[in-house]
Structure 1
Amino acid sequence: MTQDTILANARLVLPDEVFTGHVVLRDGVIAEIGTGAAVPTGGLDCEGDYLAPGLIELHTDNLERHISPRPNVPWPHGPAILAHDRELAGTGITTVFDAMRVGSIPSGRARYTKYARELSTEMLALRAQELLKISHFLHLRAEICSETLTEELAEFTADDRVGIVSLMDHTPGQRQFRDIEKMKAYVMGKNNLTENEFAQHVAKLQGLQDRLGARHEAAAVEEARRLGAVLASHDDTTTEQVGVSADHGVAVAEFPTTVEAAEACRANEIAIIMGAPNLVRGGSHSGNVAARDLAERDLLDILSSDYVPAALLLSAAQLGEMWGDMARGLATVTSTPARSVGLTDRGTVEIGQRADLVRFAYTNETAVAREVFSQGRQVA
């Protein structure tokens, strides 16, 4: 017989409320939910900590950091994937859409080489061997301003667990990099470019956009349909850009850079994703709209850890405190992202849902993940 896991005396974070109770985990799903602080025989006393659904991360660049821990320093993919997997588990994330860039620039000084197909194949192999602690899907970041986007997208099939395709356009002078001086500081520092090399890099990217931008964007939209993936926009800045996203069938907007764009997303029923680091730090590192400003205007639906995995739980708890509603805050990293990408078996503490859970304490504006369960198995 399967042995039950009982987590008791916890503040259960349900879709619309928080109350003290216990859950019973059986055969990988939530089998029972009860109220009260009593700890049944054999149960784990959570000592009044929060018990929430496992966090669902739709966009993280963390895997890229592991495969290249320093500029131009590659790391073996297998160990990198495993380290990334365990890091996310330790922060309470139990489902992740790993962002991988498709679309490379193999020529020139500041080059970007292809890696996504090989990396995703290795990811799937580790999953088949049951070596991953949490659930992984792919998020293909389709770089419109590149040389090889269509060829790289064509290498993926419906068997690759591609859940999201996002339209990325990092052409200088618009979207995230409207302020070229901010882009200059970022790119020159990251790639050790001279002033002249940076100017050549900008000219090259703008030339690629002029020559291939429209073709690449249309191809990415079609490839998302072929793969059965949710389509996302990235860094929409104007009402017009959001209108184009809506026409493409975009379901989620990653990191709109202005209030104007966020309001247009709401009008077009496009879910709004903002960066957890933006919320925690109190502003955007690129000088764009602050996540907190959008939250105060009710223009924030989902949080993404982006480049700091530990920020996801922390920011959701801070948002719950700001709104005076912890259930609502946690929904931005659990039920809402799950539903936005069509996952119906996780994201809530309800009977029959996957037993993906995070037990955490929240004091002095700091969230601490104490225990994490994926399909009822403790992974951290």
Structure 2
Amino acid sequence: MRALHLTGAEVLREGRLAPGGIAVAGGRLIDTPPADARRVDLTGYRVLPGIVDAHGDGFERHLAPRRGALADLGAGLAAAEAELAANGITTAVLAQFWSWEGGMRSPDFARRVLAALDAFDAGGTDLRAQLRLETHMLDDYAAVEEAVAAHGVGYLVFNDHLPHARLAEGRKPPRLTGQALKSGRSPEAHLALMQRLSARGPEVPAALDALAARLGARGVTLGSHDDRTAGDRAAWRARGVTVAEFPETRAAAEAAAAAGDPVVMGAPNVVRGGSHDGKVAAEALVAEGLVTALASDYHFPALRQAALRLAPRIGLARAWAAISERPASMLGLDDRGRLAPGLRADFVVTDAAGRIGATFAAGIPRYMAGPVAARFLA
């Protein structure tokens, strides 16, 4: 693409919003625009770093618009990328289950998603996979390692969604029939599977120790999901599982932050003003400096919305860093998340109210609309 010189805007860099401009060439931000650069006047607008989403499963509805109606996965990823771009997200970690729950969360579907991602050209937007492994699927550990190696998966999170207490009491879990239908099993077969997996609990800690060590040796970033206590976090940290993803309590979040572990919280939690199911509220944790990064979780627009909600309280620079610079750093992506010469030209153009007019990923326009588009087309 022809080099760009964007002038007249307020630009968020080095921790402050100030009048200035940016220059883009070869997919990177540069110091000085070449003489033939296309000049675009963005007076009245803001240029902010592209959003980095450290965990999102909102793409599932694009891959399967209805239960059982699985679209072509490439077409589904294209639709997901379009929504990501419209919401200013230039790097997205797609959180794919590897779970006993079956259906779109099954190991077979995870393999399909990974293969589709390998084959998909996102046109500049960086789509990456995170595997969410259910800890009690011990017989799948080897297959997970094979998938990680074959597809270059750089981020894996450990989950345990088995209803152990109800199973131990001999009671049926809630929503059993619905879960069974999604998995393609009868309720009886689905319950029996959960019971078998739960019964293997005593084997899990040692197996996790070994698996985490092997994955860590590969350089895979490891996280735990829904830590409830400081003890939970300490146990995961001892395995080299450093990221605390969506801790459920203040105690778990404080323990992670005190040890220097990255803490990821859901942006929808901030937008809603609290957790939808009674867990710790994210907004206060962000304000207190306990949160490294916000993630879209199940709703891509929530990242931008959360930053705008937080800005009056903690400042736009700090709020935006929670959805750009800090998640990028956590993921080891030091070439993005900020606006500085030499970095990827990942940025969004917004009006003063935060509405997105354009999204560029690696210098390529991925979304453009309204008056901002008119400036570029003039």
TM range (shorter): 0.7 to 0.9
SS of residue paired to 2:20:
strand
Determine helix, strand or coil for the equivalent of 1:379.
strand
Instruction: Give the secondary structure class of the aligned counterpart of 2:94.
Output: strand
Q: Deviations over 1:211-256 (max 9, x none)?
A: 6533553354134225421111111110100101211223321111
Partner of 1:24: 23
Say yes or no: does 1:306 pair with 2:297. Answer: yes
Instruction: Name the SS for the 2:355 alignment partner.
Output: strand
Please say if residues 145 and 205 of structure 1, whose CA atoms lie closer than 8 Å, have aligned partners that are also in contact: no
CA contact (8 A) 1:168 1:233 kept: yes
1:376 aligns with 2:367: no
Change (3 A) 1:26 1:156: same
The aligned residue for residue 210 of structure 1 is 201
Is the Cα–Cα contact under 8 Å of residues 103 and 148 in structure 1 kept in the other structure?
no
Structure 1 distance, partners of 2:172, 2:322, is 33
Question: 1:359 — aligned with what?
Answer: 349
Does residue 340 in structure 1 map to residue 330 in structure 2? yes
Aligned equivalent of 1:177: none
| Other-structure match for 1:326 | 316
SS of aligned partner of 1:115: helix
> Take 2:269 and 2:350, find their aligned partners in 1: how far apart are those partners?
22
Where does residue 76 of structure 1 map in the other structure?
A: 72
- In structure 2, do the counterparts of structure 1 residues 360 and 216 end up closer, same or farther at CA, with 3 Å as the change threshold? farther
Out of 141, 145, 155, the position equivalent to 1:154 is 145
Aligned position for 2:374: none
In structure 1, give the amino acid aligned to 2:83. E
Match of 1:37 in 2: none
| Structure 1 residue matching 2:308: 3-state secondary structure | helix
Q: What is the distance in 1 between the residues matched to 2:224 and 2:192? A: 24
Are 2:87 and 1:91 equivalent residues in the alignment?
A: yes
Number of the residue aligned with 2:339: 349
Change (3 A) 1:269 1:211: same
Moved more, 62-71 or 336-345: 62-71
Secondary structure of 1:346's match?
coil
Q: Is 1:8 matched up with 2:10?
A: no
Distance 1:204 1:28 in 2: 52
Partner of 1:123: 117
Separation in 2 of the partners of 1:279 and 1:29? Answer: 32
Q: CA separation in 2, counterparts of 1:239 and 1:321?
A: 31
Deviation at 1:284, TM superposition (A): 1.2
Alignment length, in residue pairs? 358
Say whether the 8 Å CA contact 1:317–1:362 is kept in structure 2. no
Deviation per CA, 1:269-314, whole angstroms, max 9, x where unpaired? 0111110111001111221111112123322221000110111111
Correspondence for 1:261: 252
Check whether the contact 2:91–2:126 (CA below 8 A) recurs between aligned residues. Answer: yes
> Structure 2 CA distance, aligned partners of 1:199 and 1:342?
39
Q: Distance in 2 between matches of 1:186 and 1:319?
A: 40
Native 8 Å contact 1:68 1:74 kept in 2: yes
Question: Taking structure 1 as reference, are residues 259 and 24 closer, same or farther at Cα in structure 2, changes over 3 Å only?
Answer: same
RMSD of equivalent CA atoms = 3.3
The answer (yes or no) to whether the contact 2:29–2:339 under 8 Å persists in 1 is yes
Amino acid in structure 2 at the alignment position of 1:10? A
C-alpha contact (below 8 Å) 2:359/2:366 kept by paired residues: yes
Q: What TM-score do the two structures reach when normalised by structure 1?
A: 0.84
Change over 3 Å in CA distance of 1:223–1:312 after alignment to 2: farther
Partners of 2:145 and 2:215 within 8 A in 1: no
Given residue 364 of structure 2, which amino acid in structure 1 is its aligned partner? R
Cα separation, partners in 2 of 1:105 and 1:273, compared to 1, 3 Å: closer
Give the Cα–Cα distance (whole angstroms) in 2 for the partners of residues 111 and 54 of structure 1. Answer: 29
Deviation of the 1:357 alpha carbon: 0.5
SS at match of 1:119: helix
1:99-137: per-residue Cα shift (whole Å, max 9, x none)? 11124356xx9994521122211211123xxx5440122
Aligned runs of 1:22-61 on 2, under 5 Å?
Answer: 22-32=21-31, 42-61=38-57
Q: What is the DSSP-based 3-state SS (H/G/I as helix, E as strand, rest coil) of the residue aligned with 1:307? A: coil
Would the aligned equivalents of 2:243 and 2:263 in 1 still touch at CA under 8 Å? yes
- Tell me the amino acid that sits aligned with residue 47 of structure 1: T
Q: Confirm or deny that 1:282 pairs with 2:276.
A: no
TM-score for the superposition, normalised by structure 2: 0.84
- Is 1:62 aligned to residue 58 of structure 2? yes
Query: 3-state DSSP class of the match of 1:88?
Result: helix
1:292 alignment partner in structure 2: 283
Instruction: Confirm or deny: 8 A CA contact 1:4 1:24 kept in the other structure.
Output: yes
Q: CA deviation at 1:79?
A: 0.9
Distance 1:122 1:185, change over 3 A: closer
Write the distance in 1 (CA, Å) between the matches of 2:316 and 2:337.
15
Gap change, CA 1:257 and 1:362, over 3 Å in 2: farther
Distance 1:44 1:200 in 2: 60
User: Using a 3 Å threshold, how does the CA distance of structure 1 residues 47 and 212 change in structure 2: closer, same or farther?
Assistant: farther
